[in-house]
Structure 1
Amino acid sequence: MSAKAGGCPGNLPAETTSFVGRRSELAETGRLLGVSRLVTLTGPGGVGKSRLALRAATMVRGLFRDGAWLVESAGVQDPSLLGHAVLEALGMTDSTTRQPAQTLVEQLADRELLLVLDGCEHLVDACAALVEALLRAVPGLRVLATSRQELRVQGEHLLVLAPLPVAEDGPVDGPVDGPVDGTAEVEDAVRLFADRAAAVPGGFRVTAENRAVVAAVCRRLDGIPLAVELAAGRLRALSVEQIAERLDDRFRLLTGGSRTALPRHRTLRTAIGWSHELCTPQERLLWARLSVFADGFDLDAAEYVCPGGGIEAEEVLEVLSELVAKSVVVREAGPGGARYRMLDTVREYGAWWLRSLGEESRMRRRHRDWYLGLATWGEVEWFSARQAETGDRTRLAHANLRAALDFCVSEPGEEQSALHLAGTLWFYWVGCGHLGEGRLWLDRALSLAHEPTPARAKALWVTGYMATLQGDLRHARPLLEECRQQAVDTGDDLALAYAVHRQGCAALIGDEPARAAELFEEALWHYEKLGELNSNVLMAMFELGLAAVFQGDTATGDLWMERVRDLCEEYGEQWAYAYGLYAMAYSEWQLGEVGSARAHARECVRLNHLFRDLVGVVLGLEMLALLATEPGADGSSGDLREARLLQGAAHRLWQAVGIPLFGSRNFRAPHDECTARAEAGLTEQESAEAFRLGTRLGLDAAVARALEGPAAAGKAEPPQRCALRGLGSTYDA
């Protein structure tokens, strides 16, 4: 978990448009959060549940020691991935074979935070089960959920969100221009229309002459915020009088003239449909096709996925801009440039049209192709100076990669694509801390396609490698042996090299360093023969050096580390280099070169934290804990309490990785030596207390402590929990 700029923990996005009205609802949300640990905002689609939840969370996040965190569950279609989405939103990783809920419980046990679970209705059972489990086990957790239906979890408090009130008939009270300062209960819908209309080119303003018509438009739309915003977006092409007239004609056809015959959920759908009809044919088509994106997307993705049959690639930007102007698509600025997204209700309408047009399968396939290309390019760029940017780009695409994988595992005939995509993403699953989810997708793909293809061979060694990192050798070894045998039978020399390499990894953590060295040497022979050079090859060199160090041959180990360092510098590679730094630190510890070992271990932690690679981070922490027990170069004695604190921090992180230190005697040697030294110099109570303080550190705080030393002490002992009494008074002004 990390803090945003300004030091406030959380990931709540900045508002891109002004927040209008809802003063009483904000106050009530705050009051409910003060008396209940689960508050669910319910109401029809488009009524503003998400906006209210985010505004309320932003206002109260300072009352939670560990901040407020948004989980956008709308982009998650598979219930089994909900826990992974929560972990990802919290900046955590789950690299174990357990259910993500178990990792969440362990990682959040002593946290105090607000979790905003947005868009639960399509996963209501999974959301309810996860929320109930977390609330039972995490006393400092409060949940603010949005859903079109209640979660039905014990202790849940509901706030049913109604549309914005609007005057029934006749003139609307309040000033003519600018924000309406009159009776808020009457004016909010009109104020929202005026606010959004002011952004339309030409600067529309509510005046004495048109405000009754504006009120009539808002009234016809039942004050549903999304519908009002869509109508305001039409002012680019229509006058407000034309909008009112066309809406009235459409609703009269549907209701036979009855003002009360149309339920609000149909009002929104009708309003969206009306907005859809007023779009040009190209805009309607692009709207439908963009619905295949599960989350945000950039222009390049839209220009690849959406052209054809009425839209040329060079026309996508212009048509997309029109949809942004009409409030159908939201444009957001990001570090990598502009990104776009659709509100869930608008996306659902587009998806309905996409199915009606018979284009769903074709668009989902094109969507899959784009993200397969993104994964393929990411695998290539992973071996370059752009590794960090590659990780960030893939992280932004995570929800869409899930959608692409879901298409592959659910669409008949796409089984090989499932293997290919899940296997190609090895750099993300392994290098960016998503071993748990990666195993899930790979296991599914392998269960669907048993034909001995190159895609299956790659999926086998990737899955075996990931199982090895989880300490799950019982599953890893059969997978790697199957890959090796298939490679021999089919003459796939590349798959053979990778299978042998990863068998070496299994031998290394299985405490067979001599056997591991033989396998690494064989794999490197194959790699060289094939001209293969990438991060995996560098890892084989590092692992061969570590196998030598484990056997006491530090000279050979150092030679391999020098080679890894030279190649990493040449190609700008940092991920494999970070692991090489661990091996250097291990070797230097054995040689008594404490200063160099400490510097290399810290850099190992820093680089692995950059990638969110927990395996590398926790190995570095274990080494730094041991080195904290060593006397300083200035003759100062070691800090045994700091050593135990770092061991406690590592212990907590191992819970999100798998078996501590892989269950390996060799990898565990620094840990055991550190423990022995601490127990010899500290009382049992002192040792236990320091360890306990370490277990209270999250990932970012643990890394800060490792890099800054005791100077980061403020991160080790969190402040006392703040009282939540009077939470609602935040809004009483």
Structure 2
Amino acid sequence: MAIEQPESRSVARVLFGPFELNLSERSLKKADEAIPLGARAFDILVTLIDRAGETVGKDELIAKVWPDVNVEEGSLRVHLSALRKVLGTGQFGRKYIINVQGRGYSFVEPVTREQAGADTTNALVRSSNLPAPLDGMMIGRDDVVLQIRSRLGAERLITILGAGGIGKTTVALAVGQAALIDFAGAVFFLDLSVLRSKDQVIAAMASTIGLVAQPGDPEDALLEFLHSRRALLLLDSCEHLIEEIAKIADRICQHAPDIHVLATSREALQTVGEQVFRLQPLDCPPEQPDQTADEILSYPATRLFMERVGARGVDLALGSGGAAFVAEICRRLDGIPLAIELAAGRAAIFGVRDIAAKLALRLDLLKLGRRAASPRHQTLRATLDWSHDLLSEIERAILRRVAIFVGRFTLEAALAVAQQDGTSQPDATDALGNLVEKSLIGARIDSWGASYRLLDTTRAYALEKLVASGEHRSIATRHANYSIQMLKVSSATPIASESASTEHLARYAQEIDNVRSALDWAFSPTGNTELGIELVVAAIPLWMRLSLVAECGSRVKQALGVLGPERAVDGPLEMKLYGALGFAAMLTKGAAPEAATCLRKALAIAEAVGDDDYQLRVLWGLWSDRNINAEFRESLSLAERFRSLASRSGDPVDIAIGERMTGFVRHYIGDHAAARRHIERMLALQDDALRYDNIARFQFDPWVTARVTLARVLCIQGLPEQAMEMLERGVAEALTIDHATTQCNVLAKACPVALFARDLAAAERFILLLERAVMQGLSFWQAEGRGYRGVFHLMRGETEEGVRLVRSAFGNVETKVVTPPYPHFLGALAEGQSSLGEITEALHTVDQAIAYCEFHEEVWYLPELLRIKGEISRGAGSDEIAQDLFLRSLDLARNHGALLWELRAATNLARLWQGGGRVVEARELLLRAYGQFREGFATPDLLEAKALLSALAVE
């Protein structure tokens, strides 16, 4: 017999979720469709709903449902299982009836009870049907909830718009909970995903707010019922019934002035008065090194990940390394909450490293899933299937075709790749716009105009569709061709200012991932190697402008490997490939033999085909390589060839660069006066309207590197104040140029100048900037940075650390970086060894440096090396040898016009003579050098000389 609950006499209907339980009729309906339910199952449901939110013991349930019969607990479980199957799951995948371990069962969804005999046509049921909030389900959305709730006061129809899985429902429910007070508890939630027609929506909405069926048109009855009432209606998942919901919402807003509607959809309703709130992904940690675990886990995306892992009973104690994997996972999943929750479930089993690795390879990206969820949220694939099934054929075609793009793309790019024969440009444009409206493609408008992007999850899904369609090869071919044309336009675009250069770089830098993707396809077994080679050549300027030198070298080797030996090496493509490979080898490995080999091949081809511009580029590259290898006579010859060719072309930039090349070599061979004249002549030709086009041609900004070279010459000539002023100006300009290779080059040249001037504060600043600027692959400058830091430690008296670092700067076999024995490094190393009492080793080191300079005619630093050897010899008790070395240093410094080296040699010799009683000679010697200075009297060298002069005067 049926049970009679205490409240059964006064309650006619109970509403929960999409269900209506009619007690008098003993029936259960879902969206007006009758649900078959056995008598025992019905009585169990009535008993649990009557005690909703409480735990009903098993024995109590059996006693109420089978009052006069002895049954086993198994019978109860069978009926409960059938009941659960009928009800399915509610919000967030929760079961309506849960098992409380060891205690019994509980009905956990909110219910609305309609009293028997109540005048439901004149009163709105005040008990909200919002699902109870789940702890830990919403992270990082508090501000969003506050914004939407505040807007609901003035705006009557708001649509929360966003991609599938982004958390629209969660936010809407949180807004509803927060707005209960604003609407006196009249907040009603309707899950539209289970409905399939406008009539079902009207019926479900009426049932949800407690409207008893009325004669006549159901929609009119609903609007009449709502007309004089105040409530908030939450309409969840509108996209599959978008036109029907739009009409219903519009009529509600017109006929019920105190009813507010908050909708969630992947597409806007586009009705009068609708306000769209586009929900963004959760913030993720940026991709940057040296973040602590606390910093990484402070972002909403990573906090959600950790919370959902913890909900699985797994305690992840993460250091910075593990936290970095969590950050990578969240970035790969674009901050989409559903995707993060699903990945967290896998991470609780397999760990964060495994999940990060799979996502990096795009494995399992769409398979991540959970059982206890609505069908469309059980996997990422199901979420996307839901949206894909609602698209037209042309929208599906455009979506799968634009999936070939990695990152952002423009409308022009999309049309060039995705518009196929039979599809007009207007139709393709409209389809793309519709995909944006339906939240499958994200849009951004900035100073460059509009650009678009697919989330990684959507892109992985659409790429599968592209492969399945049989269009992948044709679309990949169009994508590669478009990338080639885009890069050619980029290289040909004139750049006339620093701001234009920065904007140009930023505009095309975002294309690098598309270039990489196109190259991966082109060189794959199913690709097109001819296109790949052409694309590599077109991308060389972009790689160099982005300082991706190692990547450029790797791709060029790949292209040359495809060409093979059977193809004659005599064409423009080969010329550019060999030229790029030579530059890459030089910039990443320093004094590497393959740099000159490749550059000479490129020069020979350029001469054969009569390409003067490329001859200039390669001559500059060979000149740089010869300088790195200390082959200064050859580099001077190359500079003269460059100047001759530049004079024929008449290009003022080329003429200026030729002056700088000659001045640079003149400095290294000890002719500082000539070096200064050439470089100052070059700077006088500076034209900012022309400078920004030349980084791709000559790898560096030529003007700032010239300033730092001039600073070096001025310092050695005894003009330290002018030198430091010029140096600071050059470094400041370099730091404003968004080009890492230029910055590294300038800072590597600035460090020794500050060290020569003994300005340790400036030196430390430049060394630190260099260490920060060096990008992966530019190991050549990494080695230099270690060397300069070592010299810095030596000058501060931290001898052991200084010696270790300077030694580490030479010939790194592991990274295949070949660093020549720069004389100033060897001189500093010898001084450090001498300070440690390693006199024999110190003398060997300085002799090695002197021999190197004499062999290569790199004599600019030779006076200083002779002085250093003299000091070591004096410390070893060999005063006569020391005196001879100091005199040789003095003579050479005077011949070179190197006043700084002259002062140092004179100071050391004067101190030696002072000890031997030759005070007058010592004072005259030192005065001769000191008296030539016109500035820099507060520098350490001049202060030391002044103090010694004072001591000599007293004696």
Please report the RMSD computed on the Cα atoms of aligned residues, expressed in angstroms.
5.0
Is 2:329 aligned against 1:214? Answer: no
Letter in 2 for 1:511: A
User: Match for residue 309 of structure 1?
Assistant: 421
User: Match for residue 742 of structure 2?
Assistant: 616
CA distance in 2, matches of 1:655, 1:396: 18
Structure 1 SS opposite 2:134: helix
Are the structure 2 counterparts of residues 477 and 625 from structure 1 closer, same or farther at C-alpha, using a change threshold of 3 Å?
closer
User: Match for residue 426 of structure 1?
Assistant: 540
Which of 543, 548, 561 aligns to 2:666? It is 548
Are the structure 2 counterparts of residues 681 and 650 from structure 1 closer, same or farther at C-alpha, using a change threshold of 3 Å?
same
Residue 270 of structure 1: how far off its partner (Å): 4.5
User: Match for residue 329 of structure 1?
Assistant: 441
CA distance in 1, matches of 2:659, 2:542: 21
User: Match for residue 716 of structure 2?
Assistant: 590
Residue 504 of structure 1: how far off its partner (Å): 1.8
Is 2:114 aligned against 1:165? Answer: no
User: Match for residue 506 of structure 1?
Assistant: 625
User: Match for residue 198 of structure 1?
Assistant: 159
TM-score by length of 1: 0.56
Are the structure 2 counterparts of residues 595 and 425 from structure 1 closer, same or farther at C-alpha, using a change threshold of 3 Å?
farther
CA distance in 2, matches of 1:315, 1:398: 29
CA distance in 2, matches of 1:685, 1:181: 71
Tell me, yes or no, if the aligned pair for 1:416 and 1:455 is still in contact at 8 Å.
no
Kindly provide the CA deviation profile for residues 454-493 of structure 1, in whole angstroms up to 9, marking residues without a partner as x: 1121011011012112215222122122223344555555
CA distance in 2, matches of 1:187, 1:276: 30
Tell me, yes or no, if the aligned pair for 1:234 and 1:326 is still in contact at 8 Å.
no
User: Match for residue 601 of structure 1?
Assistant: 727
Pairing of 1:284-323 with structure 2 (within 5 A): 284-323=396-435
CA distance in 2, matches of 1:587, 1:623: 12
Residue 166 of structure 1: how far off its partner (Å): 4.8
Pairing of 1:313-712 with structure 2 (within 5 A): 313-334=425-446, 336-381=448-493, 383-385=495-497, 386-410=500-524, 414-450=528-564, 451=567, 452=569, 453-470=571-588, 471-488=590-607, 494-526=613-645, 529=648, 542-551=660-669, 552-556=671-675, 558-563=677-682, 566-573=685-692, 575-628=701-754, 639-640=759-760, 643-644=763-764, 646-647=766-767, 650=770, 656=776, 658=778, 660=780, 679=794, 682=797, 684=799
Are the structure 2 counterparts of residues 264 and 566 from structure 1 closer, same or farther at C-alpha, using a change threshold of 3 Å?
same
Residue 599 of structure 1: how far off its partner (Å): 3.3
Are the structure 2 counterparts of residues 609 and 394 from structure 1 closer, same or farther at C-alpha, using a change threshold of 3 Å?
farther
Tell me, yes or no, if the aligned pair for 2:109 and 2:132 is still in contact at 8 Å.
no
Structure 1 SS opposite 2:452: strand
Are the structure 2 counterparts of residues 587 and 239 from structure 1 closer, same or farther at C-alpha, using a change threshold of 3 Å?
same
Residue 413 of structure 1: how far off its partner (Å): 7.5
Tell me, yes or no, if the aligned pair for 1:305 and 1:367 is still in contact at 8 Å.
yes
Are the structure 2 counterparts of residues 656 and 547 from structure 1 closer, same or farther at C-alpha, using a change threshold of 3 Å?
farther
Tell me, yes or no, if the aligned pair for 1:290 and 1:302 is still in contact at 8 Å.
yes
Q: Which of 485-494 and 429-438 deviates more?
A: 485-494
Structure 1 SS opposite 2:523: helix
Kindly provide the CA deviation profile for residues 419-478 of structure 1, in whole angstroms up to 9, marking residues without a partner as x: 343334334333332112222211211211243331121011011012112215222122
Tell me, yes or no, if the aligned pair for 1:379 and 1:425 is still in contact at 8 Å.
no
Kindly provide the CA deviation profile for residues 381-431 of structure 1, in whole angstroms up to 9, marking residues without a partner as x: 475322222221222222112112223333677434433433343343333
User: Match for residue 333 of structure 2?
Assistant: none
CA distance in 2, matches of 1:515, 1:402: 38
Kindly provide the CA deviation profile for residues 638-671 of structure 1, in whole angstroms up to 9, marking residues without a partner as x: 54365356446646766856455698xxx99x98
Are the structure 2 counterparts of residues 501 and 180 from structure 1 closer, same or farther at C-alpha, using a change threshold of 3 Å?
farther
Tell me, yes or no, if the aligned pair for 2:660 and 2:678 is still in contact at 8 Å.
no
Letter in 1 for 2:579: W
User: Match for residue 134 of structure 2?
Assistant: 185
Pairing of 1:58-207 with structure 2 (within 5 A): 164-166=92-94, 168=96, 173=110, 183-185=132-134, 198-199=159-160
Tell me, yes or no, if the aligned pair for 2:731 and 2:746 is still in contact at 8 Å.
yes
Residue 356 of structure 1: how far off its partner (Å): 3.3
Residue 505 of structure 1: how far off its partner (Å): 1.9
Structure 1 SS opposite 2:110: coil
Letter in 1 for 2:519: L
CA distance in 1, matches of 2:437, 2:772: 48
CA distance in 1, matches of 2:93, 2:658: 66
Letter in 2 for 1:475: E
Structure 1 SS opposite 2:450: strand
Residue 503 of structure 1: how far off its partner (Å): 1.7
Tell me, yes or no, if the aligned pair for 2:543 and 2:549 is still in contact at 8 Å.
yes
Using the aligned pairs only, state the percent identity: 18
Structure 2 SS opposite 1:331: strand
User: Match for residue 140 of structure 1?
Assistant: none
CA distance in 2, matches of 1:215, 1:262: 9
Are the structure 2 counterparts of residues 596 and 337 from structure 1 closer, same or farther at C-alpha, using a change threshold of 3 Å?
farther
CA distance in 1, matches of 2:508, 2:131: 48
Kindly provide the CA deviation profile for residues 671-715 of structure 1, in whole angstroms up to 9, marking residues without a partner as x: 88x977974664638979999xxxxxxxxxxxxxxxxxxxxxxxx
Letter in 2 for 1:517: L
Tell me, yes or no, if the aligned pair for 1:382 and 1:390 is still in contact at 8 Å.
no
Tell me, yes or no, if the aligned pair for 1:624 and 1:646 is still in contact at 8 Å.
yes
CA distance in 1, matches of 2:384, 2:394: 17
Structure 2 SS opposite 1:499: helix
CA distance in 2, matches of 1:392, 1:365: 25
Structure 2 SS opposite 1:425: helix
User: Match for residue 388 of structure 2?
Assistant: 276
Are the structure 2 counterparts of residues 656 and 353 from structure 1 closer, same or farther at C-alpha, using a change threshold of 3 Å?
closer
Structure 2 SS opposite 1:198: strand
Residue 507 of structure 1: how far off its partner (Å): 0.9
Tell me, yes or no, if the aligned pair for 2:763 and 2:792 is still in contact at 8 Å.
no
Residue 180 of structure 1: how far off its partner (Å): 9.4
Pairing of 1:20-59 with structure 2 (within 5 A): none
Letter in 2 for 1:165: G
Aligned residues: 492
User: Match for residue 26 of structure 1?
Assistant: none
Tell me, yes or no, if the aligned pair for 2:443 and 2:453 is still in contact at 8 Å.
yes
Residue 323 of structure 1: how far off its partner (Å): 0.8
Kindly provide the CA deviation profile for residues 51-94 of structure 1, in whole angstroms up to 9, marking residues without a partner as x: xxxxxxxxxxxxxxxxxxxxxxxxxxxxxxxxxxxxxxxxxxxx
Tell me, yes or no, if the aligned pair for 2:408 and 2:453 is still in contact at 8 Å.
yes
Tell me, yes or no, if the aligned pair for 1:419 and 1:459 is still in contact at 8 Å.
no
Residue 326 of structure 1: how far off its partner (Å): 0.9
Tell me, yes or no, if the aligned pair for 2:666 and 2:672 is still in contact at 8 Å.
yes
- For CA contacts below 8 A with separation 6 or more, give which structure has more relative contact order: 1
CA distance in 1, matches of 2:542, 2:651: 20
CA distance in 2, matches of 1:188, 1:648: 44
TM-score by length of 2: 0.44
| Unaligned runs of at least 5 residues, structure 1 | 1-162, 219-227, 245-258, 632-637, 692-733
CA distance in 2, matches of 1:542, 1:628: 21
Residue 328 of structure 1: how far off its partner (Å): 0.8
